[in-house]
């Protein structure tokens, strides 16, 4: 069996631990990345809380720790189509795992330049990958990292299905027409909008060219370390805590260590889906090993293991650490309160035993943060990207009573 897997975006928060995990399990891994995420850090005057090494040093550390080699190609997949096609043709990968997009909703709403960059980068990246697979003439399985947020977290008592919704419509002659349609998109940021458009690309290229595609609608990834990144300090994963790229639970855990109040937006009634980084890497391996059959429609999985409201998370972190929570004017345009029920039976049926939120795991993150707390810049914690011109950045907040 050809075991080559291309990891597009393999220098990032999800891509790097996935590359190590697959390498450890016998895959020949080739990382493709243009370091745009590192460049955005420089532009924003930030750094990962953890000191991530240059790619060459990361890969050398992996060779020392595991005895395995990961190859690396520096390339902008949104702009260097001919090179991308050449890589697919020569590497003949079994699968391409596509993480290579601008992934922060707040960054995608900062200003017109960031909106346009996010659309140009994400849509061209995805479309180029699809064109390259078609033009190569190879049967390559594409595994894409999508987002639970494509559905807009609408409050209903109905669980969000894994991609497809059965509908029954009454025809004019009185008969009933039964169909399965794609679950309606309702993006809440320019970033999430690009993910809904990716899904249409997948629908088309699967129907037209028979490409085998798995789209993973992932929830918010928390945690930082996996078994593989823990093998050496030189393999440490990136850790974002700033107002654009930091995600809510990891931010709260950093804030609890550095003495910043927990930054709850509005009432904190926003409910979201979560997954630990250790499960992310396992899910990707399961997706690669269970591709759609030839001719099968796009496989869609909800890659999330549990749901929590922001206020519930603040309560858990505050109980664990005694830190204060404050309510800040919400910089986003989002429902202040929503329920969210997410179906995730597909990964469970493939054998995933979810890692769920526990004090032990939260403490593990806090230990990492404590080690690198001297690298935290407090002024980068407030969320300064607002969704509409009328909204203001709130850096003070008001005390929030937790249960
Ligand atoms: P990240 O920003 O840490 O990593 C993305 C990587 O892709 C970066 O290394 C970046 O340099 C690279 N990249 C971006 N555009 C590229 C291009 N045109 N050419 C080559 N490389 C490019 O993001 P992440 O958190 O690892 O997320 C990876 C994927 O998973 C994203 O598509 C994101 O939408 C999805 N996702 C992430 C989360 C999360 O909580 N982090 C949750 C759900 C889904
Ligand atoms: N929030 C706070 N305080 C904070 C930060 C966030 O209350 O300090 C709130 C936000 O207002 C939002 C919720 O927490 O209601 C989640 O925000 P987030 O920044 O943790 O996550 P989000 O913007 O949804 O994006 C992240 C990843 C993205 C991925 C998405 C999965 O950055 O790549 O697609 O999670 S999902 O949310 O399921 O769409």
Q: Which tokens is 24 given?
A: 């450890």
Give residue 80's pLDDT: 98
Q: What is the mean predicted confidence (pLDDT) over 42-68?
A: 98
Using the mean position of ligand 2's atoms as its centre, give its distance from the Cα of residue 247 in Å: 5
Share of residues in the chain with pLDDT > 90 (%): 97
- Bridge partner list, 72: 31
- Per-residue pLDDT reduced to its tens digit, 372-402: 999 999 999 999 999 999 999 999 999 999 9
Could you give the dihedral angle defined by the CA atoms of residues 306, 311, 316 and 319, in that order, rounded to the nearest 10 degrees?
A: -170
Lining ligand 1 with CB less than 6 A are: 9, 11-15, 33-37, 76-78, 99-101, 103, 121, 125, 145, 147, 218, 220-221, 247
Mean pLDDT of 178-202: 96
pLDDT at 158: 87
Please report the pLDDT score of residue 157 as a whole number. Answer: 81
394/152 Cα distance (integer angstroms): 24
Using the predicted structure, report yes or no on whether residue 106 has a pLDDT greater than 80: yes
Q: What is the pLDDT of residue 154?
A: 72
So what's the pLDDT on residue 250? 98
Whole-number Å distance, alpha carbon 102 to ligand 1 midpoint, is 6
Residue 186 pLDDT: 94
Distance CA 47, CA 180 (A): 45
Q: Are 337 and 15 in contact (CB under 8 A)?
A: no
Higher pLDDT, 152 or 88: 88
Q: What is the per-residue pLDDT across 224-254, written as a single tens digit (0 to 9) for each? A: 999 999 999 999 999 999 999 999 999 999 9
Report the atom number in ligand 2 closest to the C-alpha of 383.
8
Residue 332 near ligand 2, beta carbon < 6 Å: yes
Average pLDDT, the chain: 96
Domains of the chain with bracketed CATH: 4-399 (3.40.50.720)
Question: Ligand 2 pocket check: which of 149, 277, 305 to mutate, most ligand atoms within 8 Å of Cβ?
Answer: 149
Residues 302-344 pLDDT 10s: 999 999 999 999 999 999 999 999 999 999 999 999 999 999 9
- pLDDT band at 181; cut points 50, 70, 90: very high
Tell me how far apart the alpha carbons of residues 233 and 297 are, in angstroms, rounded to a whole number. Answer: 42
Report the nearest-CA residue for atom 8 of ligand 1. 12
Model's pTM, two decimal places?
0.98
Q: In what order do the strands lie in the sheet with 262-265?
A: 262-265, 325-328, 398-399
Percentage of the chain surpassing pLDDT 70? Answer: 99
| 140 pLDDT above the threshold of 90 | yes
Which pLDDT does position 153 carry in this prediction? 85
CA atoms within 13 A on the CB side of 334: 30
């Amino acid at each position: 069996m050809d075991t080559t897997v291309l990891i597009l975006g393999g220098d990032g928060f999800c891509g790097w631990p996935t590359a190590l995990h697959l390498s450890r399990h016998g895959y020949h891994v080739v990382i493709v990345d243009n370091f745009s995420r590192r460049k955005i850090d420089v532009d924003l005057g930030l750094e990962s809380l953890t000191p991530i090494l240059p790619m060459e040093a990361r890969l050398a550390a992996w060779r020392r720790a595991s005895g395995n080699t990961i190859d690396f190609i520096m390339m902008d997949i949104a702009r260097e189509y001919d090179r991308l096609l050449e890589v697919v043709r020569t590497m003949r990968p079994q699968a391409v795992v596509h993480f290579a997009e601008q992934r922060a909703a707040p960054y995608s709403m900062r200003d017109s330049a960031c909106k346009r960059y996010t659309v140009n980068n994400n849509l061209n990246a995805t479309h180029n990958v699809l064109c390259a697979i078609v033009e190569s003439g190879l049967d390559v399985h594409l595994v894409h990292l999508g987002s639970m947020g494509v559905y807009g977290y609408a409050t209903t008592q109905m669980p969000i299905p894994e991609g497809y919704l059965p509908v029954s419509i009454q025809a004019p002659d009185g008969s009933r027409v039964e169909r399965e349609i794609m679950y309606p998109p309702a993006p809440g940021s320019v970033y999430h909008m690009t993910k809904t458009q990716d899904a249409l690309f997948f629908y088309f290229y699967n129907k037209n060219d028979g490409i085998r595609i798995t789209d993973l609608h992932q929830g918010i990834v928390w945690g930082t370390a996996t078994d593989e990144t823990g093998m050496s300090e030189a393999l440490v994963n990136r850790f974002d805590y700033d107002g654009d790229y930091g995600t809510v639970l990891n931010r709260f855990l950093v804030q609890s260590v550095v003495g910043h109040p927990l930054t709850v937006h509005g009432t904190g009634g926003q409910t979201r889906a979560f997954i630990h980084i250790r499960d992310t890497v396992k899910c990707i391996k399961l997706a690669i090993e269970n591709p759609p059959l030839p001719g099968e429609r796009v496989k869609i999985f909800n890659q999330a293991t549990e749901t929590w409201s922001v206020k519930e998370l603040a309560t858990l972190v505050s109980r664990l650490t005694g830190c204060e929570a404050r309510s800040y004017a919400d910089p986003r345009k989002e429902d202040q309160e929503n329920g969210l029920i997410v179906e995730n039976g597909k990964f469970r049926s493939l054998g995933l035993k979810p890692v769920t939120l526990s004090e032990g795991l939260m403490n593990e993150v806090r230990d990492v943060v404590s080690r690198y707390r001297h690298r935290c810049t407090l002024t980068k914690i407030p969320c300064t990207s607002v969704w509409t011109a009328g909204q203001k950045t709130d850096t003070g907040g008001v005390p929030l009573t937790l249960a």
